[in-house]
Copies of this chain bind each other. A is one copy, B any other.
């Protein structure tokens, strides 16, 4: 029986990219046939033009960019990830073609474990040490037993594609995931946790045309509440995005984290 491995986090690596604020500007400027003038712009002009695109939701110029990530994450994270369909490409390890290695995800001690609130308005808070210990024990024992069954079935001559039936959704898989800056922003807007950017402090009365809003500069125009594990991955991707396309990233944040 093979030893199995437990890991407490997913892994996201930027494998390849062709992403730069200038490519956005170049594609924008073809609309006025000035795409050869990108180099002449000052940095502040570049920021302003990109912000204009974001604010008016001219999304297509952000698509002429390219990121390929290599991701290792548990299957239940990939299940959420693969719901994104537009402007993205996926190749993943196949349990039909290869024996999946015995590496399983366990939540780290910092992972909030308990859900409070009512349907449609959850928050997650830390569990007790006892809850965490029991969770870890169940997950690890379950992983070990399932993988032992998997190996027994393979030895028995059962095809990989059906033997995998016993594997739990915390087993790790690996994939290449390619996107552009626009589809990446769509992913980040849903898969990073954010509260509302603007919260009204009262109700509008008949005849009113003004309203006081509480402003949360770290918030989003539309709040988002992803699973903790995919948020961890999204944060790693957002860091790469901010590094490679700083004007685009700043503008995305300031305009409320809605993909243009």
A93 and B159 contact, Cβ closer than 8 Å, known pairs A55-B222, A222-B258: no
- Whether the Cβ atoms of B142 and A180 lie closer than 8 Å is no
Identify whether the interface residues of A are mostly helix, strand, loop, or mixed: mixed
Q: How far is the CB of A158 from chain B (nearest CB, A)?
A: 5
| Bound CA–CA A112/B162 (angstroms) | 9
> Does A244 sit at the interface, judged by CB under 8 A?
no
A60 and B166 contact, Cβ closer than 8 Å, known pairs A97-B119, A174-B30, A208-B215: no
| Interface-located stretch among A39-47, A81-89, A234-242 | A81-89
A159 and B115 contact, Cβ closer than 8 Å, known pairs A27-B91, A56-B225, A83-B82: yes
Contact check: which of B33, B57, B64, B156 meets A190 at CB < 8 Å?
B57
Instruction: Write out the residue numbers on chain B whose beta carbons fall within 8 Å of the beta carbon of A28.
Output: 91
> Does A253 sit at the interface, judged by CB under 8 A?
no
- Whether the Cβ atoms of A75 and B16 lie closer than 8 Å is no
Closest to A80 in B: B96
Contact check: which of B86, B94, B165, B215 meets A32 at CB < 8 Å?
B94
- Whether the Cβ atoms of A169 and B167 lie closer than 8 Å is yes
- Whether the Cβ atoms of A64 and B83 lie closer than 8 Å is no
Most buried by B among A66, A87, A88, A94: A66
| Size of the chain A interface, CB-CB below 8 angstroms | 110
Chain copies in the assembly?
A: 4
Instruction: Write out the residue numbers on chain B whose beta carbons fall within 8 Å of the beta carbon of A152.
Output: 134, 138
- Whether the Cβ atoms of A56 and B223 lie closer than 8 Å is yes
> Does A131 sit at the interface, judged by CB under 8 A?
yes
Closest to A161 in B: B227
A64 and B89 contact, Cβ closer than 8 Å, known pairs A52-B120, A131-B156: yes
A residues adjacent to B (C-beta < 8 A): 16, 18, 23, 26-28, 30-33, 35, 52, 55-57, 60-61, 63-64, 66, 68, 70, 74-76, 78-79, 82-83, 85-98, 101, 105, 107, 111-115, 119-120, 124, 127, 131, 134-135, 138-139, 141-142, 145-146, 149, 152-153, 156-170, 174-176, 178, 180, 189-190, 198, 201, 204, 208-216, 221-225, 227, 255-256, 258
Q: List 12 A-B contacts (CB under 8 A).
A: A30-B92, A33-B101, A57-B224, A79-B82, A82-B83, A96-B227, A114-B158, A138-B149, A161-B227, A167-B168, A169-B169, A209-B215
Of all A-B residue pairs in the complex, the 7 with the closest CB atoms, nearest first, are A63-B89, A85-B85, A115-B159, A165-B170, A66-B66, A27-B91, A31-B94
